[in-house]
Amino acid sequence: MQVFFYVVSFGFLVFALYLFCHVRKKIEYYRRLEKSFDTIVDGLSKLDPNSPEEEFFQKILNIAMEVVPEAVKGSVSRITPSGDWVFVASRGHIVDLFGKRFPSRYLFRAGKDPLEVDFLDYDRGLFPDDMWKFFEKTLRGTRKSLVVGIFSGDEFVGNIALDSPYFGFSELSKKILKSLGNLTSTFLMRKTLANEQQLQKVMSTIFTLLLLFRKPISAEEFLKEALQKIVEASNVFTGGIVFEGNIPVFHTDLEEIPEFDFEESKEEEKIEKLVKDGVHYIVVHLDYKDMPSYHMVFLSNEDIAPSFFSVLNTFAEVVSLYLREYHLHQKYRELALKDPLTEAYSRHYFNEWIFSHMAWLRRNQKKSVLVIMDVDGLKMINDTYGHLMGDKALVEFVKTLKRTVRESDLVFRYGGDEFLLVLVDSTKDNAASVLKRVEENLKDVDLPFKIEFSFGYEEIDGFMPIERALARADDLLYKNKFEKRGGSE
């Protein structure tokens, strides 16, 4: 029997280690993705789309190489109106890359999805000797290249190519480069619309939306701001609505909200055009994996010109990027700020949250109760039943706490078997009855032993230093433990 428990305990430790590594890997993934999106948005918001072409694309290339860590060299190629290619920007390549022109049949048109290629594995027969020598010299040490197309609306204008000495690029790098490629077309569109004042005004509005990325606003607030700004900038839209699923969440300049069933829509494009009862509707679908499904609907009394759809595609890219960044930020924070075993908030999050809560207490002249709790006899549980059961006891303890207290109350894992419970907008009198209910509810937990806990608590009002409140509650916790042991250590 003892051997069985050792095997189970070892298996659980292996699983716990795997879970820890998995969570750490996820946190690092979201941290890098969030940082990359910040770099892209920050870089693009500082760009001047009217700057010389070489300077403009050099800055785009610098952003690309900053957010794709595998890249050690890179270039931006531009296709000319005559069909020739010109390399307008480079980093890490030989200097004669600038101004080098080749017939277009020697290079390919990359799409909006990044593609991994190996130029040096191409059939040498595709290239003249001087071209092949140029690529051999330029791409020396390169194992893989990651290439994404640049578009002005739907018109292909060139490629961003990043070169790596490693065997390939991560899926994360491909996702990041795709976002950069899509947003680069936003700036190119502005140049092509110089003579169309209405579309130019809408594009300028889209640029201002990039600045909202720097503000800590929710996805709903961003969508509301985006909806209002586009309706105001446009001379064709008479109003707009944002739906989450099929439910309208807010609208502008409308007296009556039309009904839509987006679940039955078979349209796969981001932009959908509908006509109902003489009213023209433009629907911007904002679907993304693992995110709420949003739809922005614009109303017009007249048909929408085809040139407007290119602008709306750019608008959809900007809004989608914000939604992805916001969603990933929330997911990253949830992973980083919660204990992976019990799903209680972490001690790190308590240290971050408590000061804003203390400020709230001061402003509103309210009180909360800080409760320190620890599970009694956890070492004995581990020694008798194994660490697997010890961890299960902690999980069930937190589940019972959350089930007993209000949604507004917060549970933090402060140490191994020590937890903090903050009863928001409450008093010491309420705390005693809450803890009594926790004791009763723990009796319903189905384990081969009883889960008991010791506690100490102190009121906080925003004026007493939190360190003093913690120390007082901690003293009462040990006094409670001492009394439960019959007054002996």
Instruction: Quick: pLDDT tens for 127-161.
Output: 777 777 777 777 788 889 999 998 876 778 889 99
- CATH dotted code for 345-485: 3.30.70.270
End-to-end CA distance of the chain: give it in Å, rounded: 32
pLDDT of residue 5 exceeding 60, the answer is no
Instruction: Render pLDDT for 417-432 as a digit per residue (tens, 0 to 9).
Output: 999 999 999 988 899 9
pLDDT reported for residue 191:
55
Q: What is the pLDDT of residue 195?
A: 47
One-letter identity of residue 194: A
314 within 8 A of 191, measured Cβ to Cβ: no
**What residues form DSSP beta bridges with 298?**
240, 282
Provide the residue ranges of all domains of the chain, joining segments of one domain with +. 1-45, 47-188, 196-330, 345-485
pTM over 0.75: no
Confidence of residue 466 (pLDDT cuts 50, 70, 90): very high
Task: For domain 196-330, give the fold.
Answer: Beta-Lactamase (3.30.450)
So what's the pLDDT on residue 268? 59
Domains 47-188 and 196-330 share a fold: yes
Task: Identify whether the C-beta of residue 283 lies closer than 8 Å to the C-beta of residue 271.
Answer: yes
What percent of the chain has a predicted confidence (pLDDT) above 70?
Answer: 83
Give one DSSP letter per residue of 452-489, joined into a string. Answer: -EEEEEEEE-SSS-HHHHHHHHHHHHHHHHHHHTTS--
DSSP-derived secondary structure for 190-241? HHHTTT-HHHHHHHHHHHHHHHGGGS---HHHHHHHHHHHHHHH-SSEEEEE
Confidence check: pLDDT of 64 > 70: yes
The CATH code that applies to domain 47-188 is 3.30.450.40
Cβ contact 401:446 at 8 Å: no
In whole numbers, what is the pLDDT of the chain averaged over residues?
82
Residues of the chain above pLDDT 90, percent: 26
Q: Is the pLDDT of residue 377 over 70?
A: yes
Average pLDDT over residues 451-470: 92
Q: Computed from CA positions of residues 198, 204, 207, 211, in that sequence, does the dihedral angle turn out positive or negative? A: negative
Kindly provide the residue ranges of all beta strands, DSSP E only, lying in 112-221, ordered along the sequence.
Answer: 115-117, 144-152, 155-164
| C-alpha Rg value of the chain to the nearest Å | 30
147 forms beta bridges with 115, 161
pLDDT above 80: residue 376? yes
3-state secondary structure of 47: coil
* Bridge pairing between strands 279-286 and 345-346: unpaired
- Which of 457 and 308 is assigned the larger pLDDT? 457
Amino acid at 129: D
CA separation for the pair 146, 421 (Å, rounded) = 50
Name the nearest CA neighbour of 147 among 77, 89, 95, 59. Answer: 77
Given a cut of 80, whether residue 295 has pLDDT beyond it is yes
